[in-house]
A and B are shown apart, each in its own frame.
Chain A
Amino acid sequence: MSDFFMLEYGLGILQVILIISLSPLIVGIMRKTKAKSQKRIGSGIFQPYYDIIKLLRKDEIVSDQSSWIFRATPWINFVTTTSAAFFIPTFLVYSPFGVVGDILLVVGLFALGRFFTMLAGLDVASSFGGLGSSREMMISVLVEPALFMTIFVIALFYGGTNISTIVSSANDTSILIVPGILFALIAFFIIMMAETGKLPFDNPSTHLELTMIHESMILEYSGKSLALMEWSHAIKQMILFTLFVDIFFPWSFVEQISLVGISLGILVFIAKVSALASFTTFIETRVAKWRLFRVSDLIAMAISSSMIGVIFFFL
């Protein structure tokens, strides 16, 4: 049986490596889709990989105002997001590390990364960083209740906050039977857009102080640190996409372990996540960035959606 455990853990680590390595690809797909829908050619879908490798080989410039927090933040960010990836099932219906942590731990790890990123923004003694931290504070404060309400709805319907439990029970039910989950879907989609910094919350490709939130916090980074920050942002996005796909569109998970099954599972997974990424980009091109204080209305809509989901459960 220990062989089986070794295999399980190996597959678990494979899931993690899959998430980490595919995340820049998803970023590339999104950029390509956006370019195509704006009638541009855009960069290739493998461009983010080249960017990361290039940045890893460049020198770094560090502000003389900053402290060890500035230098430590990229590492902390990467470690926390990758550790969160351990608990997310991708092609298996569960994660072998599920007993170590649940979705609340994932949220906590993300919060830890965000905490240090906000501090790093303040560390460099420039207005850009403070600006980014201030707006990020506002959005995260508003997103937290929405996120927890959505988790509550999902935990109610699917019997737990352990992600493996959620995914396995989601695998067994159909979305048409539980209409309350639709509301959780809407809420989770909005939260996803907020957490990953997509329009209308934040423009990931701008560097104007009027519009940037996430970018301004990492404005000072260069070289290795920038590579790690960009990569961890991509991983976080990937994790959220994976969660969305696992919980709301969970069909075709492998039940038993076989080479064919696993390869098929991986391919289906990549296809699902890519489809979601394209869909998200499509939504992004339809809206402009909203005024900052209008964003809170959108998040309020997410909260009320999940509240309705809760009430649906009790009906």
Chain B
Amino acid sequence: MFDLPTQIDLLHVSAVILLIATFGIVVRRGFSDLLHAYRYQTIILAGVVALIAFVTGIWELYIVSALTLGIKAIIIPKVLFYVTKKLDSPIKLEMNPYVSLRISVIVSALLVTMSYFTALQLPISSDDTISVFLPVSFSLFFIGLFIIISRRKALSQIVGLLTIENGLFLFAVVVTHGFSLIIEIGLMADILVGVIISSILLFRMSQTFDSIDIKNLESLRDD
């Protein structure tokens, strides 16, 4: 009888740590800072998955967690670091985002609240893991979306996209308790390829426009 409350506590704690790590992404400016924050978040995510595996006793989730660690925490940041180094744009900081950093934090908090609120409305409340992590996954999703909206530089938006993917991944794991392994592997491969392509494009963009400010894409509007 002493185990289960501790499990729930563990789950709660891990959820909170995950959220804090996500906030860590939101407040960073510099490119390498962003990538480091992302990496930490992913590591914690892998840990969360392992915890879920422990709690629910599904061994595939261990493999999933290991994969997450490997691909998302190591390979992808490496690729992005490589690209960032290659960029010869003079400013490697996120200057002047659309929504300033302090307000971003408040907005993120609001988004988390909204996610919790919405998740409470949904009639899926059977399982512990689900009730704890469902709102977290929603928050991750919306915060990632918010990052895409409020940043100017393309690299930040890629990070936001990855955050969204983390949120969706968590959602999938929590709701279905680790669907088939093959699909998981497929998803990972998908993400990897996506990131590689984005980084190539990022590189090309900086070469063409001499910056990776996406304001330049506006000139493609039909006017």
Report A-B touching, CB under 8 Å: no
Residues of A within 8 A of B (CB): none
Residues of B within 8 A of A (CB): none
